[in-house]
A and B are shown apart, each in its own frame.
Chain A
Amino acid sequence: MEPASPLHFPFARRNVVWARPASTRRRSAAASRAAALALVCAAALARAQTFDAGVEIAHDSNVTRGQLPEDVLHDSYVDAHAAWTWRRDLTDFDTLDAGVTMRGGQYARYTRLSYAAVDGTLAWRRKLGVGLTEPWLGASATLSYEDYREDVRDSSRLELRVEAGRRFTESLDASIGYVFDRRYASRETPDLVPGISGTVWNLQGNAVFARMGYAWSDRWQSDIGYNVRRGDVVATTHRNLPIFLASDAIAESRAFGPDFFDYRLRGTTQAASATLSYAIDDRSSFNVVYAYALTRAAQGLEYRSNLVSAAWAYRY
């Protein structure tokens, strides 16, 4: 591809071969084994079962995470999930949940962002006493595999989370926590620029969060959340020198049309969300969610996104 922009920088032209080296195959096999192990554990622990399902329609104002107007693209999508959870009571106050989730999303315009995924989760929770307002602690590990239409985005994910919370009244509860996230690209992409990795979708981050929920009535409840994450982020833009200089991984992107590139940067993302939920009955609810995210990275780079969604949630 000949550079069309005045920002000419020496991209080497080469045939791109989507090879999967042994290390990537080992990680994929490890992820498969971990998911299989989670399933076996879940079956072995089968004493109780909760089933969750949900469907969401959402609009993201900046799916590319671009800064310049010509790079900011929006899209809508539908996603759905189904999750099964088995619980084992370890003590009178400790529970261990093992769960499997299957989920998928279909984008309207940029269909290469569409994906299917499976998660395996182990979650421990301890209540620190008897009573509605006793605090609780929780920790969880989730291993996921995501398969995208754009193959370069295929990846395994690991998320480790610790959380502490408390219910203050029947109406009010809050929690805070920390999340470590690690995304392993399933395939290593050859370097587009010598000396700069082409495997953009290897990501890692650390985040802290706080949330609070308040029930206005037996039907209406609202939740607000705030999250700060420091780590790798990916912006997909046209050729962009400042972003290029701040990136530690670059690859061609086919998700948004010609002449788009994925750039991996270190950045800090602040995100705030608000949810308004209406209980249809004891098992299901209708929810409206608004989330705003602001990411700042090196070279003065900054991008924002607004996400609005309507979701139905069900639990049995």
Chain B
Amino acid sequence: MGLSILTRMIPLSRTCAGALVLCASVACAQSGSLAVTVTDNEGRAVPDAVVVAVPNDASAMAGARPRAEHLDQIDKEFVPRVKPVFVGSTVSFPNKDSVRHHVYSFSPAKRFELPLYAGESAAPVLFDKPGVVVLGCNIHDWMIGYIYVSESPFFAKTDADGRATIADVPARAYTVRVWHPQLQDGEDATRRPVDVVAGKRADMAWKVALKPEVRVRRAPMAGHGSHY
């Protein structure tokens, strides 16, 4: 009898698998991708730029799920320096250094503080409001990191070559914008409309003006004793 159940289940599992493949194919056939390049005014690639595609029709975001993310502290730096997350995600902050860190943010999108801790003892933080969250460490002034909380699940971050790809974007109209920690003219100035066509890739390029980076210098200075 067990064998007969098994023999009936095999075609059933094949059917389920086939249905899944069919659904995925349909979904792929109904989605496209966005390939983005970001450069500065001198034509140099801009890494760590966050590209966000917001659908004009909010129903495209139905079913999007927040995720559990993490942002490490390695060699007394936040790694990665820029972390985009979908609104509603939690982010944990594992400390992989031999020193303790005291992570904090005063940004309106999320104010929080993780008092001195080592390892993975700090509880994850929920980021439930869109916006930019600037992170610091109360011990190491030069440590700075950014969490970009996106209201859209369709986002990506540029790599060292200034390129990013947002895959599996449902075919419809979007407004795409770019953010970077040193962006001079503001995120709103970068908005552009795009129509994503099923099965096709839309190429977009931005040229942005960047301000000089302002952060506390980490390198030591030479001290000098008294000569009296």
Contacts and interface: CB of A to CB of B under 8 A. Distances in A.
Binding between chains A and B: yes
Contacts of B214: 169-171
B217 A315 contact: no
A69 B41 CA distance: 59
Interface of A: 47-49, 52, 54, 56, 60, 87, 89, 92-93, 95, 127, 130-132, 134, 167, 169-171, 181, 205, 207, 213, 215, 217-218, 221, 223, 227, 229, 231, 233, 267, 269, 271, 273, 275, 277, 279-285, 287, 289, 291, 293, 295, 305, 307, 309, 311-315
A52 B217 CA distance: 16
Point out which of B106, B221, B228 has the most chain A C-beta atoms below 10 A from its C-beta: B228
B7 interface: no
Contacts of A132: 136, 141, 216
B102 A60 contact: no
B106 A279 contact: no
Nearest to A203: B228
Top 5 A-B pairs, shortest CB-CB distance: A279-B219, A311-B222, A287-B222, A315-B220, A269-B228
Interface in B197-228: 212-222, 224, 226-228
Contacts of B224: 273, 275, 289, 291, 307, 309
A89 B99 CA distance: 9
A285 B219 contact: yes
B100 interface: yes
Contacts of A315: 219-220
Contacts of B226: 181, 207, 227, 229, 269, 271
B20 to A, nearest CB: 49
23 contacts: A48-B99, A60-B227, A87-B99, A92-B116, A92-B138, A127-B138, A170-B216, A223-B221, A229-B226, A267-B228, A269-B226, A275-B221, A277-B221, A277-B222, A279-B218, A279-B219, A282-B219, A283-B218, A284-B219, A285-B220, A293-B227, A295-B228, A315-B220
Nearest to A286: B222
Contacts of B116: 89, 92
A93 B100 CA distance: 12
Contacts of A277: 219, 221-222
Contacts of A293: 227-228
A156 B34 CA distance: 69
Main secondary structure of the interface of B (DSSP, over half): loop
A131 B222 contact: no
A207 B226 CA distance: 10
Contacts of A92: 102, 115-116, 138
B104 A271 contact: no
Most buried by A among B98, B138, B222, B226: B222
Contacts of A218: 212-213, 215, 217
A250 to B, nearest CB: 18
A285 B222 contact: yes
B139 interface: yes
Contact of B217 (A49, A169, A215): A215
Given A48-B98, A89-B100, A131 B136 contact: yes
Nearest to A315: B220
A115 to B, nearest CB: 12
B113 interface: yes
Nearest to B213: A218
A121 to B, nearest CB: 12
B120 to A, nearest CB: 17
Contacts of B222: 54, 56, 275, 277, 285, 287, 289, 309, 311-313
